[in-house]
Structure 1
Amino acid sequence: MQRNRFLGDILSTLLDRSGVLRSTNDTRDIFALCHALLSAEGTVSGHTLAATVLDRYQSLTLDEKRAFFKFLNEELDINPTALMDLAQIYADTPTPEAFKSLSQAAEPRRQELLRRLNQPIGATAAIVAMRVDLLNIMKTAPELARTDYDFVHLLRSWFNRGFLVLKAIDWDTPARILDKIVAYEAVHQIDDWDDLRRRLYPQDRHCFAFFHPAMPDEPLIFVEVALTKTIPTKITDVLSEQRPPLAVEDAKVGVFYSISNCQKGLAGISFGNLLIKQVVAELSQMFPHLDEFVTLSPIPGLNRWLATQTDDPDHGHIATAILDQSAAPKDIRAMAARYLLTAKRDDGMPVDPVARFHLGNGAAVFDVHADADPSENGLKQSSGAMVNYHYDLSQTQRHHEDFALKSIVTAAKSAQSLSTAALSRKPKETSS
Structure 2
Amino acid sequence: MTALDPADQKTVSAPLEASEPVSDTLFTRFGRWWGRKGDDNPAPAATAPQLEPTLSTRAIKRQRDQLRQCFDARLTDGAANSAAQAWQDEYQAASEPLRQAMLGVLAEVAAGRDAAGVPPASASGLSAALSNARIRFFKRFAAQHGQRGTSACGLHFLIQLRADMLRWHKRIPGLRELDEDLEALFSNWFDVGLLELQPITWDSPASLLEKLIRYEAVHEISSWTDMRNRLDSDRRCYAFFHPRIPREPLIFVEVAFVPEMAANVQALLDEAAPLEDLRRVKWAIFYSISNTQAGLRGVSFGNFLLKRVIEELQREFPKLKQFATLSPIPGFADWLRKQDGDAVARILGDKRLARWRERHGDVPADGAAWLGALPADSGDAVVRDSALTLAAHFLVKAGAKGAPADPVARFHLGNGACVERVNWGADLSRKGRAQACGMMVNYLYVPEALDDNLARLGDGNPRISRAVAKLL
Please list, as runs of the form range in 1=range in 2, the aligned pairs for 1:297-312 lying within 5 A after superposition.
Answer: 297-309=327-339, 311-312=341-342
**Which of 372, 384, 387 is 1:323 aligned to?**
372
- Return the offset for 1:33: 3.5
Structure 2 counterpart of 1:150: 181
Residue identity in the other structure for 1:82: P
- Return the offset for 1:209: 1.4
2:395 aligned with 1:340:
yes
Distance 1:388 1:47, change over 3 A: same
Please list, as runs of the form range in 1=range in 2, the aligned pairs for 1:6-17 lying within 5 A after superposition.
Answer: none
Structure 1 counterpart of 2:100: 66
- Return the offset for 1:115: 1.4
CA contact (8 A) 2:256 2:286 kept: yes
CA contact (8 A) 2:67 2:106 kept: no
Structure 1 counterpart of 2:119: 82
Structure 2 counterpart of 1:207: 237
- Return the offset for 1:348: 5.7
Structure 2 counterpart of 1:187: 218
2:316 aligned with 1:278:
no
- Return the offset for 1:106: 5.4
Structure 1 counterpart of 2:161: 130
- Return the offset for 1:197: 1.2
- Structure 1 residue runs of 5 or longer lacking an equivalent are 1-15, 20-26, 89-101, 421-432
Q: Partners in 2 of 1:269 and 1:348 — Cα distance?
A: 17
Q: Partners in 1 of 2:123 and 2:340 — Cα distance?
A: 57
Structure 2 counterpart of 1:24: none
Q: Partners in 1 of 2:254 and 2:339 — Cα distance?
A: 34
CA contact (8 A) 1:348 1:407 kept: yes
2:194 aligned with 1:163:
yes
- Return the offset for 1:234: 0.8
Residue identity in the other structure for 1:117: F
**Which of 129, 134, 137 is 1:110 aligned to?**
134
* Percent identity between the two aligned chains: 35
Q: Partners in 2 of 1:46 and 1:17 — Cα distance?
A: 30
Structure 2 counterpart of 1:228: 258
Q: Partners in 2 of 1:209 and 1:274 — Cα distance?
A: 15
**Which of 33, 37, 62 is 2:66 aligned to?**
33
Identify the range of structure 1 (360-369 vs 145-154) with the bigger mean alpha-carbon deviation: 145-154
CA contact (8 A) 1:125 1:215 kept: yes
Identify the range of structure 1 (59-68 vs 31-40) with the bigger mean alpha-carbon deviation: 31-40
Q: Secondary structure at the match of 1:240?
A: coil
Give deviations 1:295-346, integer Å, cap 9, x for gaps: 111111222233244613454737645533155333332332233233x224
TM-score, L = length of structure 1: 0.80
Residue identity in the other structure for 1:402: R
Distance 1:35 1:221, change over 3 A: same
Give deviations 1:123-150, integer Å, cap 9, x for gaps: 2211211111111221222532011122
Q: Secondary structure at the match of 1:82?
A: coil
Residue identity in the other structure for 1:155: F
Q: Partners in 2 of 1:241 and 1:86 — Cα distance?
A: 62
Q: Partners in 2 of 1:377 and 1:87 — Cα distance?
A: 47
CA contact (8 A) 1:210 1:275 kept: no
Distance 1:323 1:159, change over 3 A: same
Residue identity in the other structure for 2:66: L
Residue identity in the other structure for 2:396: L
Q: Partners in 1 of 2:63 and 2:211 — Cα distance?
A: 32
- Return the offset for 1:225: 0.4
Q: Secondary structure at the match of 1:297?
A: coil
- Return the offset for 1:157: 2.9
Q: Partners in 2 of 1:267 and 1:128 — Cα distance?
A: 10
Give deviations 1:274-299, integer Å, cap 9, x for gaps: 32010011111111121310011111
Q: What RMSD over aligned residues (CA atoms) do the two structures have, in Å?
A: 3.0
Q: Partners in 1 of 2:128 and 2:341 — Cα distance?
A: 56
2:246 aligned with 1:216:
yes
Structure 1 counterpart of 2:415: 361
Identify the range of structure 1 (344-353 vs 289-298) with the bigger mean alpha-carbon deviation: 344-353
Distance 1:409 1:161, change over 3 A: closer
Give deviations 1:341-362, integer Å, cap 9, x for gaps: 33x2245632221111111111
- Return the offset for 1:271: 2.2
Distance 1:330 1:161, change over 3 A: closer
CA contact (8 A) 1:307 1:323 kept: no
CA contact (8 A) 2:191 2:300 kept: no
Q: Secondary structure at the match of 2:443?
A: strand
Distance 1:164 1:353, change over 3 A: same
Identify the range of structure 1 (311-320 vs 378-387) with the bigger mean alpha-carbon deviation: 311-320
Distance 1:149 1:248, change over 3 A: same
CA contact (8 A) 1:230 1:252 kept: yes
Q: Secondary structure at the match of 1:75?
A: helix
TM-score, L = length of structure 2: 0.73
Please list, as runs of the form range in 1=range in 2, the aligned pairs for 1:40-51 lying within 5 A after superposition.
Answer: 43-44=77-78, 48-51=82-85
Q: Partners in 1 of 2:421 and 2:297 — Cα distance?
A: 29
Residue identity in the other structure for 2:276: L
